[in-house]
Structure 1
């Protein structure tokens, strides 16, 4: 499907998802969740080396805009990419910033 074929509400949703991703820490989060990985807030905050509350804030934004989903298992909540094709964005960014 081509972008010009998307309905206005789908374009708005796509723009909101891209806005949510457009932050260095959020791009990093997507990178850690590639390949179907599921991580907890604690695991992500340890990988990013930032405060857990800051990590939760970024995860909340990504979840609110439809980039991430979460699943509760026992006392842990696991975050993962809502659409596995979102990892293509990380690949694209990586390719575009080389050189």
Structure 2
């Protein structure tokens, strides 16, 4: 027990908890998984795959954007969403391999 210590900085722990709270929804995890596969997608493209209403999808995307998980880029009439930090996809990989849960 002498060498036992918290190895993660308190600020990093707080940020991780903040992001993980946002990710704690199956639809948001699915969005991350899709954005990992394609780098960037429009709301319409995400909606086609996820098969949910546009308003509900937009709610999730706005929440994820506000938390800094996704970013947006406008090209003409289209707004593309992409991941701001691809290390989040490691969580998806752990879930998919059945190692995390």
TM-score by length of 2: 0.84
Give unpaired runs (5+ residues) of structure 1: none
Greater C-alpha Rg: 2
Aligned counterparts, 1:1-99, within 5 A? 4-8=7-11, 10-35=12-37, 37-96=39-98
SS class of match (2:72): strand
**Structure 1 residues 24 and 97: CA distance shift in structure 2, 3 A:** farther
How many aligned positions are there?
96
SS class of match (1:43): helix
Q: What stretches of structure 1 move > 4 A for 4+ residues in a row?
A: none
SS class of match (2:52): coil
SS class of match (1:4): coil
CA distance in structure 2 between the partners assigned to 1:31 and 1:17 by the alignment = 16
**Structure 1 residues 76 and 90: CA distance shift in structure 2, 3 A:** same
Instruction: Map Cα deviations across residues 4-56 of structure 1 (whole Å, 9 max, x no partner).
Output: 33243x32221111111110111110110014510011111111000000000
Q: CA RMSD in A?
A: 2.1
Give unpaired runs (5+ residues) of structure 2: 1-5
CA distance in structure 2 between the partners assigned to 1:83 and 1:47 by the alignment = 22
